[in-house]
Structure 1
Amino acid sequence: MKQKICLISFDNWHYDKYIIKLLQQKGIDAYHINLGGYKHANLISRVINVFSKIFLGINLKTKKKQEHILSELEKNGQHDIILVINPDVIELKYHQLIKQHTKKYIAYLYDSLHRCPVDHLLNAGLFDEVFSFDEQDAKAHNFIKMNNYIYFDKKPIPAEKPPYKITTISSFDKRFPIYNTIANQLEQMKAPFHFIFVSRNINFKKFKYNFKAEAGAKTNKQLLFQSKKIRLKQLLKLYSEAEIILDIVQNNQTGLSFRVFEAMGMQKKLITDNKTIVNYPFYNPNNILIIDRDNPVITPEFLATDYEPVPEAIYNQYTLDNWVSTIFNLQK
């Protein structure tokens, strides 16, 4: 019989569909329960949920999402493995019910515990294995250290230089002043850049930032802002239009973000403030510039050199195929 695997996640960026596709290519009966795609049945349900949140403090949509998980699992019978990515979005009592539908229950954390704490789940002894992208979290809680992955085929190095030297696509959050400082540096260096910031109420947030900022910290006029979410296909196109990808990590994060692996897969250079990157076998100071987030300095020397390809044996350690084989204990 085919092995049956279910992946449960809140997949806003749609990375997880690539996991399911690869599992199916390997002959596994695999499917995805995407909580991010769950919607109210109708307008009445939406209105009832609004009143419930305001007057009762209960989010009925959250409850229905979790009941939806159980409904889907019951349709598909007993599972060999169920993987939950970032399990903090599911209440303990529902995890306990989910676990009844599988021989093996595992979790993968691609946010740090600082941002998405799961102590209430760990103390319950729910999971047979917990994987984490964050080195400090893995050491502190005896998780299995596991990186994110390259979810697409390696892109060739273009024969011609792209139009921008550096690009980034980021949410508009506490990291914005760092990006803004770097943009001002690049403008002075006459290095073309393409920085896009995405968030709800983006114009208000931008106005609020400028209202509080000192004159020298006002928003750089070349920065772009939008409320509409950027899809993965568009994201990779935007990355293809620059030589270097810029990545500023969240506070207290030691794990490597998807930006690192997108840069590797697209054979682009990387600028990051994640100092732990020096511990990885693909680290090459020609390809990766580490900056201080409190005093970011982009050096002209780094901008001037070309990308040096990562050796194939090292590159293959960070492919989706290797990730899937490791997480689900499959033969390569």
Structure 2
Amino acid sequence: MIIGEALKNKNILFFSVQTFDLEKEIVNKLEEFGANVHYYDERPANNNFTKGIIRLKRSFYQNIIDKYYRNILNSISKTVIFDFLFVNKGEVVPAFFLEEFKILQPDCEFILYTWDSFNNNKYATTILKYFNRKLTFDPEDAVKYKINFRPLFYLDAYKDVKNEVFEYDTLFLGTAHSDRYKISSEIGQWCAKNNLKIFCYYYMQGRLVYLYKRIFDKTFKQFDYRKLSFKSLKLDDIVNLYRKSKVILDINHPNQKGLTMRTFEAIGARRKLITTNKEIAKFPFYNPTNIYIIERDNVLLDKAFFKTDYQDIENNVYDKLSMEGWLYNIFIDAEESFWNKCL
């Protein structure tokens, strides 16, 4: 890929919500390619109150959002000529900022990528018109809004996961939401009956978030509080768990069609995958030897799936699913003809 040549010495203004340090990994990779990255959290703050109020009652927080972006405009308007404005998700950045930044930086290319569905982040649809390049991980949103489809990626760290003696037959890591606990518990019971070992890690953003969900989200009445963790795993922790595990369990949000980050981490680590997302069968890396699709309302498993080894996928597809491949599609070539085959 020629991404290093294309991004060398380019100035990028990058907005992204903080998500398990993925934003830092993106910045590091862009800088590795020689880009000069100016990163800002898309939210004025990263605490649970800010996250919640933006989603539930944005208007109460709008003055703080506007002030935050006004300060950013004042701090960057006279210092750097930007080649790219890259917004990852588009949950917060206000229209006035995009309009005024375009006046200040008329030659800057505006790029939006979202790793959330528009059903969960409707605000992003109101600012689509400001961007030259628009990409989404959600295949249905790509068709509906006529924007480029590009799934997620795996980090370089997963390339270093080697096959070892496995401690766990199945691994589930994820934020606690929807029917994840119900499905993973059913699979855990199946594993116990079949002499297979499962490890589950359910992350919750905070105790107040849990209490709120416990009251207003009926699915949380099933969660065993003792199994929740309020500390997010670091990248090294996740990679080490992948190293010890033969099969990764992926339970996507029932309202999302896009493939999760777990899917691509499993591919990057060359691990087998059990998933609730039927969309995966449309992708060029789908292989029933590696990927087992389950019904979320009727979980049926086959012990034979755990007895076979992972089969490598084609190198060119493996490369496309890396972070480097993801950035290539965002900044250089969306490769519509390749990815549209998955829609």
TM range (shorter): 0.7 to 0.9
1:121-155 alpha-carbon deviations (Å, 9 max, x no partner):
23xx2111110111111011111111111221512
Distance of 1:145 and 1:183 partners within structure 2:
34
Partner residue in 2 for 1:309: 312
Which runs of structure 2 are paired with 1:156-175 in the superposition (5 Å)? 156-158=161-163, 160-175=164-179
1:302-328 alpha-carbon deviations (Å, 9 max, x no partner):
111111122212211111112212211
- The question of whether the paired residues in 2 share the 8 Å contact of 1:9 and 1:34 is answered with yes
Which runs of structure 2 are paired with 1:62-77 in the superposition (5 Å)? 62-74=65-77, 76-77=79-80
Q: Pick the aligned partner of 1:121 from 114, 121, 127.
A: 127
1:262-306 alpha-carbon deviations (Å, 9 max, x no partner):
101111111111111111111111111111111122211111111
1:192-243 alpha-carbon deviations (Å, 9 max, x no partner):
010011112289669959xx89xxx96689x832111222222222222211
Partner residue in 2 for 1:227: 230
User: In the alignment, is residue 19 of structure 1 matched against residue 19 of structure 2?
Assistant: no
TM-score, normalising length from structure 1?
0.82
1:245-272 alpha-carbon deviations (Å, 9 max, x no partner):
1111112322111111110111111111
Residues 183 and 65 (structure 1), Cα distance of their counterparts in 2 relative to 1, 3 Å cut: farther
- The question of whether the paired residues in 1 share the 8 Å contact of 2:161 and 2:243 is answered with no
Aligned with 2:252: secondary structure? coil
User: In the alignment, is residue 138 of structure 1 matched against residue 142 of structure 2?
Assistant: yes
Residues 92 and 203 (structure 1), Cα distance of their counterparts in 2 relative to 1, 3 Å cut: closer
Identical aligned pairs, as a percentage? 24
Comparing 252-261 with 59-68, greater Cα deviation is found at: 59-68
Which runs of structure 2 are paired with 1:320-331 in the superposition (5 Å)? 320-329=323-332
Aligned with 2:160: secondary structure? coil
Q: Match for 2:241: what amino acid?
A: L
Residues 155 and 39 (structure 1), Cα distance of their counterparts in 2 relative to 1, 3 Å cut: closer
Which runs of structure 2 are paired with 1:63-212 in the superposition (5 Å)? 63-74=66-77, 76-102=79-105, 103-117=108-122, 118-122=124-128, 125-153=129-157, 154-158=159-163, 160-175=164-179, 176-199=181-204, 200-201=206-207
- The question of whether the paired residues in 1 share the 8 Å contact of 2:83 and 2:109 is answered with yes
Residues 120 and 313 (structure 1), Cα distance of their counterparts in 2 relative to 1, 3 Å cut: closer
* Structure 1: runs of 5+ lacking an equivalent: 41-45
TM-score, normalising length from structure 2?
0.80
Number of aligned residue pairs: give it: 310
From the CA coordinates, give the structure whose radius of gyration is larger: 1
Partner residue in 2 for 1:43: none
Distance of 1:164 and 1:130 partners within structure 2:
40
Which runs of structure 2 are paired with 1:224-303 in the superposition (5 Å)? 224-303=227-306
Residues 106 and 322 (structure 1), Cα distance of their counterparts in 2 relative to 1, 3 Å cut: same
Q: Match for 1:260: what amino acid?
A: T
Give the alignment's Cα RMSD to 1 decimal.
3.2
1:10-38 alpha-carbon deviations (Å, 9 max, x no partner):
12211122222222222222232224684
Aligned with 2:201: secondary structure? strand
Distance of 2:61 and 2:208 partners within structure 1:
28
- The question of whether the paired residues in 2 share the 8 Å contact of 1:267 and 1:309 is answered with yes
- The question of whether the paired residues in 2 share the 8 Å contact of 1:7 and 1:83 is answered with yes
Distance of 1:71 and 1:239 partners within structure 2:
44
